[in-house]
Structure 1
Amino acid sequence: MRGRSATLTAVEGTETAERMRLRSELVDLLNTYSSEAQHIGHAFAHQHRLHATDMHALLAVMHAERRGDPLTPGRLGEAIGLTSGATTALIDRLERGGHLRRSRESADRRVVHLRYAEAGMALALAFFTPLAPRTDEVMARFGTDELHTIEKFLQGMIGAVTSYRDELRQQ
């Protein structure tokens, strides 16, 4: 029995070491991905004379639209950490530039939703479409079950980072 216990402890130690290695590698890979994606976002922003905050706002609006839950100006401000006045100035700037549009879609005409404007979407598609075949090629290497696992992992990591970001905002 004692030999079996020692063997199990050695196997557990190896699994722990491998798990620690994977954890470190995954964090590094996520950081590298984030950095590279930011470089691409900055290139788009520079090409279209947008601020970094503009890019964050456009991404937030796009993601909310994809979820079928368009943002209001207040929710956009909360999402990217801006005051009401700064959010209004941002929306005005993006609307003037043809990137966003305000839409009144509910029975309550006071409620304004933010939508990606057609001109802004055309610019984004022209810039980001060449990236799609590259990312599609990577995703094609994984089965549906693997992609579900990756989705679950990334949702968890985003939740952890978002939770910490919100905590930092409270300080």
Structure 2
Amino acid sequence: MPTEGPELETVHLLRAAAVELGLHSARFASRNGMHPTDVRALIVLMDARRAAEETTAGRLGAALGLNSAGTTALVDRLERAGHVRRVRGATDRRKVVIEVDERAVALGQAFFGPLIGQVVELLQGYDERERAAIRGFLEGVRGAAAAADRPLTS
């Protein structure tokens, strides 16, 4: 493992950015009487909504690394707070899916919107080739982080 160099400096900057983003998310959770896992759940649900994908409780729990009981408690808590609702699936009415409520979306946009706007503005300072490199790097980091805890197979 390298102990110095420009690559390691970039790793340290990425870690610092991740810490700051985590702190920002924790402030949102605290100000809104939420647990940090609640915020992560809402992010998963909003990402699924953007991708036009239905999210069952099982899928949400898997994305968050929660067991069935923990997922049920999470969804119950978010539902009581008015952040999500359980509805029947659009294609399979037997399936119950979790949808994020518009009030939760508005709450998130009010808090995270200014930061998102600043990041978009930063990205506009790069040309398309540079943005593609940034996207590729971040996708690679995400994939490496996701794979880091997976057991090695022989």
Scaled by the length of structure 2, the TM-score of the pair is 0.89
Q: Does 1:99 align with 2:83?
A: yes
1:76 aligns with 60
The size of the alignment, in residue pairs, is 150
Corresponding position: 1:150 with 2:119: no
Structure 1 residue 167 displacement after superposition:
3.8
Q: Within 5 A, what are the aligned runs for 1:14-25?
A: 21-25=5-9
Give the greater-gyration-radius structure (CA).
1
Alignment partner of 1:109 is 2:93: yes
Offset, 1:165: 3.3
| Residue 119 (structure 1) aligns with | 103
Structure 2 CA distance for aligned equivalents of residues 34 and 126 of structure 1: 21
Deviations 1:38-88 (A, max 9, x none): 111001000100001111111111112222223211011111111111101
Q: Classify the secondary structure of the residue corresponding to 2:25.
A: helix
Counterpart in 2 of 1:7?
none
Shift of residue 133, structure 1, vs aligned partner: 3.0
Higher helix share: 1
| Residue identity matched to 2:137 | F
Offset at 1:29? 1.2
CA drift of 1:160 comes to 0.9
CA-atom RMSD in angstroms: 1.9
Q: Which runs of 5+ in 2 are unaligned?
A: none
Aligned counterparts of 2:129 and 2:98: Cα–Cα separation in 1 = 34
Report 1:59-70 matches (<5 A). 59-70=43-54
Unaligned segments of structure 1, at least 5 residues: 1-16
Distance 1:71 1:165, change over 3 A: farther
Give the alignment's TM-score, normalised by structure 1. 0.80
Asked if 1 retains the 8 angstrom alpha-carbon contact of 2:54 and 2:89, the reply is no
Secondary structure, counterpart of 1:103 in structure 2? strand
